[in-house]
Amino acid sequence: MTAAAGRSAGGGRRGLAGVVDRHGRWLIILPPLLFLLVFFLIPFGYALKISFAEAALRIPPFSDVASVSADHKLHLTLSLANYRYLLTDEVYAVSYLYSIKTAFFSTLLCLLIGYPMAYAMARASKATQGILMLVIILPFWTSFLLRVYALEGIIRDQGLLNTLLLWLGVIHQPLKIMHTTFAVYLGIVYSYLPFMVLPLYATLEKLDRTLLEAASDLGSRPWQAFLDVTLPLSMPGVIAGSMLVFIPAIGEYVIPALLGGPDNLMIGRVLWDEFFGNHDWPVAAAVAIAFLLLLAGPIAVHQHYRVRQLEP
């Protein structure tokens, strides 16, 4: 792709790139570049700035970081108090670690359920594969919030599951599932399972079948062949799917807030409460910046594999 575009831009003066010419093409580049700069990137700069401010009783509720005095000198008042506060008040460290733990185990659950699903899909006939793809993708299009709500209808104290189990006589007291850690795991797996299945299916479907035949010819049992051939070759899908579940799960707000109990303090919930409950914007900005720095690792892994996948 890059080579072909380069040839026509540099040499033949053909195509959009060549003829719109060096300055004309800024008409194409600048609108999205400027928009995203102003409304996506610069906000992070603002958050960084405000994280050094102090909470104040005014509108907006924080002190000025930079001010210009009467003699036209710029004064910077940087306060590290918010970051110090993050380190001293243990709720932040606890909720961050708790988010990582929750995201990790729900990713693992998604992998354990999603891998056999993707494997079965890849083994189906071509026509069935198309239908199965649609069936897996469709929930992704329907509202995330409403799907979490729909799940609540199943696991509530008077929900379908409890009604059914009581009616069958399996239990005599309704199971307490709502507002527990289990409900949070269930919610994340339910919401993000398609994100795990699709990349896994994409790698398993492309897998060279002759390799498995070769393994079997050389005396490998099917299970052994799976561990030696299929699993290692599907690792890109495993990593891509895991990142697609892990990264959003870590910052999840709706699921712990609706399905979780008071102990399920994930970082997204803490941030939300800091903002809407305590109205402490500078601390919220500092939490957001610290959270972003801690997410940089998983995001870098994700981007690395995404770029590798895009290359043929």
Partner 1 sequence: MERRRSPLLITVLCLGIAFLYLPMVVLVAYSFNASALASVWGGFSTQWYGELLHNRQILSAAGLSLEVAALASTGALLLGTLAAVALVRFPRFRGRLLLTGMVNAPLVMPEIITGITQLLLFVSMLQLLGWPSRGMTTIVLAHVAFCTAYVTVTVQSRLATADRSLEEAAMDLGATPLQAFVDVTLPIIAPALLSSWLLSFTLSLDDLVISSFVSGPRSSTLPMVIYSKVKLGVSPDINALASLIILLVGACVLAAGYWLRRAERVRELEAAVAAG
Q: In terms of CB distance, is 81 or 254 closer to partner 1?
A: 254
Tell me which stretch binds partner 1 (CB under 8 A): 66-74, 76-84, 86-94, 277-285: 277-285
Among residues 91 and 135, whose Cβ is nearest to partner 1?
Answer: 135
* 78 is a site residue for partner 1 (CB under 8 A): no
- Per CB under 8 A, contacts with partner 1 among 210-249 are 212-213, 247-248
Q: Is the dihedral of CA 235, 240, 241, 247 positive or negative?
A: positive
Angle at CA 64, nearest 5°, toward 268 and 55?
45
Stretch that binds partner 1, among 4-12, 74-82, 88-96 (CB under 8 A): 4-12
204 makes contact with partner 1 (CB under 8 A): yes
Residue ranges in the chain assigned as alpha helix (H): 2-7, 15-24, 26-36, 42-51, 81-88, 90-123, 126-141, 144-155, 160-168, 181-206, 209-217, 222-225, 231-233, 235-250, 254-259, 267-272, 281-310
**Per CB under 8 A, which region of 68-76, 77-85, 89-97, 152-160 contacts partner 1?**
152-160
Residue 302 binding partner 1, by CB under 8 A:
yes
Is the separation of the CB atoms in 172 and 166 below 8 Å?
yes
Q: Binding of partner 1 at residue 265 (CB under 8 A)?
A: no
- Do 212 and 230 form a contact (C-beta atoms < 8 A)? yes
- 299 touching partner 1, by CB under 8 A: yes
Given 67, 77, 224, 303, the residue binding partner 1 (CB under 8 A):
303
Kindly state whether residue 28 participates in binding partner 1, applying the rule CB under 8 A. yes
Q: Nearer to partner 1 by C-beta: 100 or 295?
A: 295
User: Which parts of 41-70 interact with partner 1 (CB under 8 A)?
Assistant: 41-44, 46-47, 50, 60
Question: 3: how many CB neighbours lie within 10 A of its CB?
Answer: 6
| Closest to 252 measured CA to CA, from 41, 42, 139, 104 | 104
Interface residue with partner 1 among 94, 97, 120, 227 (CB under 8 A) is 120
